[in-house]
Amino acid sequence: MAKSNKLGKDGEQAACEFLIAQGYTVRETNWRLGHLEIDIVAQEPSARKLHIVEVKTRTSSEHYDPTRAITRAKIRNLVNAAGGYISLYQLPMAVQYDLMIITGTAPDFHIQFIPNAFQPPLRTIR
């Protein structure tokens, strides 16, 4: 496995462990719909809300801001994938889009959890 792939997998594992420790249920990891992917699909135990969690893992944020990887195209893909997930499993739930920024190397990761990091873009009808 390439070094960057291992870092990403380790970061996603740390993100799952963080969510579980916070009381979330991790429903899926690396869920795919065609070319679309959701890193983590999680659910709070006390709420009927589905969390779509994008995980960005870097060894350092010194020269690069991981939030810059959340582009309009990435948001559109996550929203489309979440719609597919909800439709496939017929889930009557609200959706929240969260971001996890993982920096460092395993097992000494620094985890920054940003709940409700972005909203789906509004579309207008002309």
Please write the tens of the pLDDT for every residue from 65-110. 777 778 888 999 999 999 999 999 998 889 999 999 999 988 889 9
End-to-end CA distance of the chain: 48
Quick one: what percent of the chain has pLDDT higher than 70? 90
Quick one: 61 exposed, middle or buried, by C-beta within 10 A (0-12, 13-18, 19+)? middle
Band (124; pLDDT cuts 50, 70, 90) = very low
- pLDDT at position 64 is 67
- pLDDT at position 98 is 96
Comparing CA positions, the residue from 47, 52, 59, 49 lying closest to residue 8 is 59
Gap between the Cα atoms of 30 and 9, Å rounded: 10
Mean pLDDT of 114-118: 92
**Residue 70 contacts residue 99 (beta carbons within 8 Å):** yes
Residue 47 φ/ψ, nearest 5 degrees: -130, 150
**Does the structural domain 3-118 have CATH classification 3.40.1350.10?**
yes
> Which single residue is written with the structure tokens 């990887």?
69
Comparing CA positions, the residue from 25, 26, 48 lying closest to residue 38 is 26
Model confidence over 15-53: pLDDT tens digits? 999 999 999 999 999 999 999 999 999 998 877 899 999
Band (111; pLDDT cuts 50, 70, 90) = very high
Strands 49-58 and 36-43: antiparallel
- pLDDT at position 41 is 98
Model confidence over 85-97: pLDDT tens digits? 999 999 888 999 9
